[in-house]
Amino acid sequence: MTAEEFQNGKVVLIDKPLEWSSFQVVNKVRWLIKRKFGLKKIKVGHAGTLDPLATGLLILCTGKFTKKIESFQAQHKEYTGTFTLGATTPSYDMETEVDQDFDISEITEKMIRETCELFTGKVEQKPPVFSAIKKDGKRLYEYARKGKAVEVPSRTIEIFEFEIGRIELPEVEFRVVCSKGTYIRSLAHDFGIALKNGAYLSSLRRTKIGDYHVRDAVSIEEFENNLAD
């Protein structure tokens, strides 16, 4: 790999580690490229945010390929993960503490699988209040962290495939293929509501974006080692 290749444009597939923000990954990769080739600057951007508590495929574009980011963002995405039933959290995932508990003793596997079928196709979904969407110039999570109520408009998203895997209550494993703009945290929350119960997202891994698969991605350490070769 050469400095010119990165400047002309490369697609870099990173398997994002747990607790790293997408922004941190971009900064680290940019710094590694600049250090390796002695560059003062190099454009690096990512094609679709992953929350710090999620792992998996992050597509990075360098140099002139940063112009292609929007085309990657528009592609279908595949995720696997776990919902935890019987409780809710304000952030719809494990970023915040449980705020309400529910009895799950009456929930059956049949109910879970039937509820899954309600979410295939075009669905109206409200993004979480703990999200980076902007309202009146501020990120929604800025309002949420200050305890300010804010109305979040729903949006139409599409779920192409939604499968339930292992069920070991309170945990339910899933796989979903969805359109741009889908929040899996909101899907978990809405799944709980549809069950007349509660649910939050307890693990998430992005496995595909379009034709790109996480099995072809490298860790940040591997990327650094590959640069050194």
pLDDT at 141: 62
Question: What's the length of the chain?
Answer: 229
Is 101 noted as a catalytic residue in this protein?
no
215 and 179 in a common domain = no
191 and 101 in a common domain = yes
What pTM was computed for the model? Answer: 0.91
Instruction: Give dist(CA 18, CA 45) in Å, integer.
Output: 19
149 and 217 in a common domain = no
Domain span at residue 44 reads 3-74+211-228
Mean pLDDT of 162-188: 97
The mean pLDDT of the chain is: 92
180 and 156 in a common domain = yes
Q: Which of 87-101, 108-122, 132-146 is predicted with the least confidence, judged by mean pLDDT?
A: 132-146
17 and 88 in a common domain = no
185 and 224 in a common domain = no
pLDDT at 25: 98
126 and 177 in a common domain = yes
Helix, strand, coil % in the chain, rounded to nearest 5:
30, 35, 35
pLDDT in tens, 195-219: 999 999 999 999 999 999 999 999 9
Helix or strand (DSSP H, E) at 30: helix 22-37
169 and 143 in a common domain = yes
Instruction: Give dist(CA 142, CA 147) in Å, integer.
Output: 9
Kindly report the CATH number assigned to the domain that includes residue 172. 3.30.2350.10
pLDDT in tens, 24-63: 999 999 999 999 999 999 999 999 889 899 999 999 999 9
**Exactly one of 51, 99, 101, 103 is catalytic; which is it?**
51
Q: Cβ contacts of residue 136 below 8 Å, gap of 6+?
A: none
Q: Cβ contacts of residue 121 below 8 Å, gap of 6+?
A: 158, 159
